[in-house]
Structure 1
Amino acid sequence: MKYELSNKKITLLGMGKSGRAAARLLSEAGAELFMSDSGRAENFGRAIEELDGMNIPYETDGHTDRVLDADFVVTSPGIPESSDVIRNVLDSDLPLYTELEAASWFASGKITAITGSNGKTTCTSLLGEMMKGSFDDVRVGGNIGTPFSSLVIDGDSADTNYILEVSSFQLKWIKDFHPSLATVLNVTPDHLDWHTDLASYVGAKDRIVENMTAEDCFVYNLDDKESTRIALLSKSRKLPFSVTKELEEGCWLEGTELKLKFDSFDEKILDIKDIKLRGLHNVANAAACMILTTQGGASIVRSGSALLSFEGVEHRLETVRVLDEVSYVNDSKSTNVDSLAVALNSFDEPLVLIAGGRDKGGDFKSLTELAAKKVKKLILIGEADEKIAKAFWTIKDVHFATSMKAAVETAVMIAESGEVVLLSPGCASFDMFKNYEERGKEFKDEVNSYGAGR
């Protein structure tokens, strides 16, 4: 453990999954904890049971001044930078850290950190599978699945490989978080509902390289100007990937062949026609992962085999079923304008698009021309429905739905043979659902409830 925490007074903000995981970790280290959440008490049945079991005091229904009675504060990613409680902590000059930072104090193994506006969940999951072919102790989590605090709580060793998806929320208030391998896949405007402005969002992504040294390796996207800019900030070794340019070293697409070159290695890895993942963006993800896995010491042959067998992650361009010659695809993880653009570009078939939700400040007008080319029929849900309708004004066959059930019913009714019904909202889910996972599950449940022969 990096710091002596016995008897340290620590306030934890947020009683969600990552907050409770941090509470267990810090409690076992002997810290004196207090938890605070603005949510209503009746929504925290399980959380309250856990905290009572650990004898950790807490408050709900708002944040009081007791939050500031601490040596430092650890915040959960769900609490926005612009919130009153965060501003109060910063104004008090108390040290503020994220759960990611606190968990890193307990980690002895090698950390690989993956971030980006889009693609980080697929890349993290894929890299985890690739590394498992060469190492016994590979732990995948962070911003997806299992919080970092839960991954380290049972102990580790120098041989442990942590494969972490990290978000801008988690990077915002780090201090010593130090990945030995890291990548920024891309940076486009996102989460402007959480960050105070775009500069804050981009600045949080920058921090991934802050503590990297010459012994580490940063993998960057030469096709993305922000990823390339961040590479210039890093003191580590830097290796690029590209799907548009031939490189002197790194990983790149040449025709349909993915090629890898570094040090004395210079070979074709595979033909992208053999990859199960859809879209050029996933070729970029694969290229990034090939560099990361080899720099992490994994077998190139085993990594390539894992890549070829990888079918993707749930809620990201996930084929649900084919019904009456119409494919239904769940892309609920599309929570911003750029991820919607990626989804549209991944199909040659005419699309029946289901989009909408809570707007995150995205510029849907930037997709007007692309939508006109790709989308034949449009079904809109959620708070941003009218904003998207205005942006996609060239699409004449437009429908509005007040629920996922109604959206799927409409899709089943209007979709024609050879078309693809694509749920790719381009928005957050919180106006109608708990999260994008619930949104995607409801879409799949509704699609699977239909029998053949409409």
Structure 2
Amino acid sequence: MIIEGKHVVVLGAGRSGRAAANLALSKGAHVRLFDANPAASFDGLDPRIKVHSGASDVVGRATQSDLLVISPGIDTYGAFVKAFAENTSELIGETELAARYFDGKIVGITGTNGKTTTTELVERILNHSGLSCVACGNYGVPFSEILLMEDVPDSVALELSSFQLETVSKLHVHAAIWLNFSADHMDRYSSIDDYFRAKLNVFINQTEEDTAVVRAGEELGGLVAQHVSFASKGQKTDYYLDGDRIMFRGEQIFDLSQTRMRGLHNAENVMAAVAATHSLGVRFSKAEEALAGFAPPLHRCELIRTLDGVEYLNDSKATNLHALDSALRSQTRPVVLIAGGKEKGLVYDELLVRLEEKVHSAIVFGEISSALEQLFSKVVPTTCVETLDEAVALAQKYAYAGDVVLLSPGTSSFDQFSGYEARGDHFRKLVHALK
């Protein structure tokens, strides 16, 4: 791609937009950066980039460009982007811009849940195996920043949201991971089919020499790349779970009991990462070495401690219904569930089957506690408390050796905390104080 001397317009002054603007400038383009916020910050930009805050649709329609690059946080289909797109030759996203200049291997990771953990696993395995790798995209740094590094890595672990995948056309992912799919971001998409089609772009431009790593049961249609399957249940897949052992076509390749990874969903994340890196030539033994000391990202089914035979897991990042369901689905031990927080108007009825299957006691707290108690008590003994402190104290009383106490709120934290991180940190403090 040659943009030297071309006029490039970048929308969005967040980190992704600034990275795209700097990358375009480094390739010789004339760059302008627009943001709708009148108080937008343009820190970290080369002074040769012309900046415009408080941009409007009117400004967009009056702006011409050879290439329009949009940040993932801006609605591709909204009026703001459409206005700027009226007078441009091509519209792409920041991820697509970076992909056109990156010559290394790309492992692309998408899915509704589990992307960040899997991205970290891929990065760790590849670096341990001698193929330098940086996590980027929807997690870590923007992809465009990779191209501006003094030493560009051999590969990237590229977490891809549907927002980033909406605006790709030439992105070529050598190993594509599809973890799972369920409804999300329905405030952005007119239908779940639109969301699904955006996600499918992770496979765009793959050839028969590439690899598609797909969770069993996901109906994706015909894929050109070599298909590798995984699942935590059943043995009709390439990668599967036998107790704590991850198996590959009948051979043990990994022992999860030697790691801090807990839950079936984390087992699937490991399978997907190992499968993708194996397709790039990494030996299973190297992957096992790399993950021996790995702990999941904070607040994502993070094992805090084991006390009196009870595991305490911090899944404060579960701020929606699907994340809570995923955390419950992954548990192999009986669960004492701690849930609750801000009232977001979500409908939790579909959780009842999972609650009945996995949970023997539920403790609910926060603004939404009364509504959750009324619903959850239909299938499981449920106690309503006001604070997380009370919930943890009760959970210790309710849990037996062999159980797991799972903080997986299923909603945001803003009724009592500044964010899910603060909620998870407080839970960690409470658990470590237990005797």
- Counterpart-to-counterpart distance in 2, 1:390 and 1:91: 52
Look up the SS of the partner of 1:48 in the other structure: coil
What is the CA-CA distance between 1:453 and the residue it aligns to? 7.0
Return closer, same or farther for 1:283/1:59 CA change in 2, 3 Å cut-off. same
Contact kept, 8 Å, 1:141 with 1:147, in 2: the verdict is yes
State yes or no: 1:441 paired with 2:422.
yes
> Higher mean Cα deviation, 305-314 or 212-221?
305-314
**Amino acid in structure 1 at the alignment position of 2:60:** V
1:110 aligns with 2:105: yes
Q: State the number of aligned residues.
A: 426
Aligned to 2:133: 138
Amino acid paired to 1:16: G
Paired with 1:358 and 1:12, the residues of 2 have a C-alpha distance of 36
SS at match of 1:218: strand
1:144-163 deviation digits (Å, cap 9, x = unpaired) = 12111112212666x70111
1:269 to 245, 253, 259: 253
2: distance between equivalents of 1:285 and 1:182? 13
- Stretch deviating more after TM superposition (163-172 or 72-81): 72-81
Distance 1:55 1:11, change over 3 A: closer
Tell me the residue number matched to 1:303.
Answer: 287
User: Which TM-score applies when normalising by structure 1?
Assistant: 0.82
The aligned residue for residue 241 of structure 1 is 230
Corresponding residue of 1:66: 59
Residue aligned with 1:417, SS: helix
- 1:30-429 matches, within 5 Å, as 30-39=28-37, 41=39, 44=40, 47-51=41-45, 53-60=47-54, 63-68=56-61, 69=63, 70-81=65-76, 83-89=78-84, 95-154=90-149, 160-222=154-216, 224-225=217-218, 229-230=219-220, 232-247=221-236, 250-254=238-242, 256-261=244-249, 267-320=251-304, 329-345=313-329, 346=331, 348-357=333-342, 359=344, 363-372=347-356, 374=359, 376-381=361-366, 388=372, 391-392=375-376, 394=378, 397=382, 399=384, 407-412=387-392, 414-417=394-397, 419=399, 422-427=406-411
Could you report, residue by residue, the CA deviation over 1:3-33 in whole angstroms, capped at 9, with x for unpaired residues? 1112322222222221222222122222222
1:28 aligns with 2:26: yes
Judged with a 3 Å threshold, the aligned counterparts in structure 2 of structure 1 residues 98 and 358 are, in CA distance, closer, same or farther, namely farther
For residue 51 of structure 1, report the CA deviation from its aligned partner: 3.7
The answer to whether the 8 A contact 1:355-1:423 is kept is: no
CA RMSD of aligned residues (A): 3.3
| Closer/same/farther in 2, CA of residues 40 and 400 from structure 1, 3 Å limit | farther
* Contact persistence 2:337–2:359 (CA under 8 A): no
Q: Is the 8 A contact 1:319 1:329 kept in 2?
A: yes
Q: Tell me, what secondary structure is at the counterpart of 2:397?
A: coil
1:12–1:35: 8 Å Cα contact kept in structure 2?
yes
Relative to structure 1, the CA distance from residue 32 to residue 164 in structure 2 (aligned partners, 3 Å threshold; closer, same or farther) is: same
Q: Which residue of 1 aligns with 2:6?
A: 8
CA gap 1:410/1:129 in 2 versus in 1, 3 angstroms: same
Paired residues of 2:35 and 2:53 also in contact (CA < 8 A): yes
Of the structure 1 ranges 266-275 and 334-343, higher mean CA displacement relative to structure 2 is found in: 266-275
Separation in 1, partners of 2:390, 2:284: 47
Task: Name the aligned partner's letter for residue 390 of structure 2.
Answer: T
If the length of structure 2 is used for normalisation, what is the TM-score?
A: 0.85
Task: Provide the rounded CA distance (Å) in 2 between the counterparts of 1:174 and 1:430.
Answer: 34
1:163/1:96 Cα in 2 relative to 1: closer, same or farther (>3 Å)? same
Cα 1:35/1:443, change in 2 over 3 Å: same
* Structure 2 unpaired stretches of 5+: none
